[in-house]
Structure 1
Amino acid sequence: MQKIFDNNHAEIAPALSDGEESWYLPIFGVYHPKKPTQIRAVFDSSAKYDNTSLNDVLITGSYLINSLVGVLLRLRKDLVAITADIQQMFYCFVSIPAVATYRLRKAAQSGEETYGSDVLDFVNRTFYVDDGLMSLPTASETIDLMKRTQETLMKEGNLRLHKIASNNQDVMNAFSQDDIASHLKDIDLGVSEAPMQRSLGLYWNLQNDSFTYRVS
């Protein structure tokens, strides 16, 4: 809970006046099977009181999410591929996919004149919710576009683009360790055996640049 307050995602509610109504949003913890030492707080907006939940009265908005197949195909289009993630973007309300996607695209649009139309195109066409995936012909082009996208989203939307992974070591070396995916820090793709990178349900082998699947 303290982390939620520290990130300004919640604040202490004032005391209720006599006769004033309030709504209580339940919260529970979820553990990821691959991260057993970390707990993620989830707001249960589907919890019902008197047969009504918060999600029941929220407008879902337009469906703005890109095609999953299209995003993955664009990741395979060129030689140098890179993926990144928006920090703490997604929440458990039915309206959030539309709101969050609109906010992301609006930030890129606001920075288009300063940071370039290719940043806007990247955000509009190759993001899937909070995951950005793209490929370009060279490492220098990839580094340049990703850095400008990071600057745009932070300045225009206070959105941090991090957890970077790439099949190119020069690209990985161009970003601070704080921005690299945690399991890839200090990894040399030419020497070390890199762990599999998960990207939208697929396992991406960065060293031989191939997708694999795990079936249970």
Structure 2
Amino acid sequence: MEDIIDKGYAERVSDDSYISEHVNYIPHHAINNPKKPGKIRVVFDCQAKFRDKSLNDYLLKGPDLTNALVGVLCRFRKERVAFICDIEKMFYQFHVNVEHRDYLRFLWWRNGNCDSKPQEFRMTVHLFGTGSSPGCSNFALKQAAKDHEKDFGTVVSNFIQKDFYVDNGLTSVSSVSEAIDLISKSKELLLCCGIRLHKFLSNSAEVIESIPCHDRAEGVKNLDLTIDDLPTERALGIEWCIESDAFRFRIKLSDKPLTRRGILSIISSIYDPLGFISPLQEICRLNTGWDDVIPEDLLPRWQRWRDELFKIETLKIDRCFKPDGFGTVVSVGIHNFSDASTFGYGECSYLRLVDANQRVHVSLVMSKSRVTPLRAITIPRLELTAAVVAVNVNLLKKN
């Protein structure tokens, strides 16, 4: 909190300020992320209600300008050289109009002296927790890229507009020189608007070496890039083994009751936005309550499935669609296969590449699976439903 105040993200409200009906006080608390020990995030509760109304009840979210997660991840797999980065405190980079800041007041004890009278502060920037912050921040980020497109080029502008998922940017290019140039110009463009890009990480040691140490991700700041292996990091939640340049899965299961709710909780804990695994949740077909114990005849099957789940950790999915040594691509095709049965339906999307030497390589792009509804539906109709899923997935990859 002291850091927020010292950096000007919050300002002191003078004691003689007039308190009108257009003032709102926001409660706050600290969150400690176990994956980032020692780092505490201040969270403002904009959902807190006073007289049955909260601040978020009055805020408009605006249009959803967040890029599609699947689209960003698919573009991240296009070329051999990849990098990821992060916008430092994204919401805090965009200011709130002075006349609206009194809605973002809060109380705080400077220097941790809780025996003294709390002082009043108000945020000068957008908050993590207000319903309008994502829309405002995404709009401002994209507008910054458009405003400076003539100065820095279309490639840089498109990267900022299309390859960021909120504050996380990730993309892939065909060469090291392209990556270094794109990183340099992107940092310069956003710096013109007071926005800092940092936490850069790449599968190329040469790209990492071109980035100042203070702008690199924590995992590579102290590495000797000539001998040390590159670490495993998360790319939008997916485990990215940078050294082998492959996606992997890390399974951590907690004990849950043998109920429909408990089993679905375990299945959903596997983060897999591209559907590399796509387990068919047959338990959904049971006509039982959420907290009813599943039938005994399903227990051995469930236990066997749970025990074998850790084998997924040995699975590796190449990040890049192109294999090493693949030549200049002369033909690209997307093939969507869909099918259905009485138990479920779904689709798989594949990318077919042909190089100048007429070599062919096929990669799994993503998949989607669904459980067949309990009500009776004919197989032809289910196959049409699966085809609709394939069409929607194909559109999703383009966004």
Q: Distance in 2 between matches of 1:49 and 1:142?
A: 50
8 Å Cα contact 2:231-2:243 kept in structure 1? no
Q: Distance in 1 between matches of 2:155 and 2:231?
A: 31
The structure, 1 or 2, with the larger RCO (C-alpha pairs under 8 Å, 6+ apart) is 1
Q: Distance in 2 between matches of 1:8 and 1:109?
A: 27
Give TM-score scaled by structure 2 length.
0.52
Query: Cα distance, 1:46 vs. partner?
Result: 0.8
SS at match of 1:66: coil
- Give 1:186's aligned residue: 222
Output aligned runs, 1:44-193, within 5 Å. 44-90=45-91, 91-155=128-192, 157-189=193-225, 191-193=227-229
Which amino acid in structure 2 is aligned with residue 41 of structure 1? V
SS at match of 1:45: coil
Which amino acid in structure 2 is aligned with residue 128 of structure 1? Y
Kindly name which structure, 1 or 2, has the bigger radius of gyration based on alpha carbons. 2
Q: Deviations over 1:93-141 (max 9, x none)?
A: 1111111111111111111111111111111111100011010000000
Q: Distance in 2 between matches of 1:114 and 1:86?
A: 21
Distance 1:139 1:214, change over 3 A: same
Q: Deviations over 1:155-180 (max 9, x none)?
A: 0x211010000000000000100110
Query: Cα distance, 1:194 vs. partner?
Result: 2.9
Identity rate of aligned residues, in percent? 40
Query: Cα distance, 1:190 vs. partner?
Result: 5.1
| Structure 2 alignment gaps of length 5 or more | 92-127, 253-399
- Give 2:3's aligned residue: 3
8 Å Cα contact 2:232-2:243 kept in structure 1? no
Output aligned runs, 1:26-45, within 5 Å. 26-45=27-46
Query: Cα distance, 1:189 vs. partner?
Result: 4.8
8 Å Cα contact 1:44-1:92 kept in structure 2? yes
Give TM-score scaled by structure 1 length.
0.95
Check if 1:196 corresponds to 2:232. Answer: yes
What's the Cα RMSD here? 1.4
Q: Distance in 1 between matches of 2:184 and 2:229?
A: 26
SS at match of 1:35: coil
Query: Cα distance, 1:199 vs. partner?
Result: 1.2
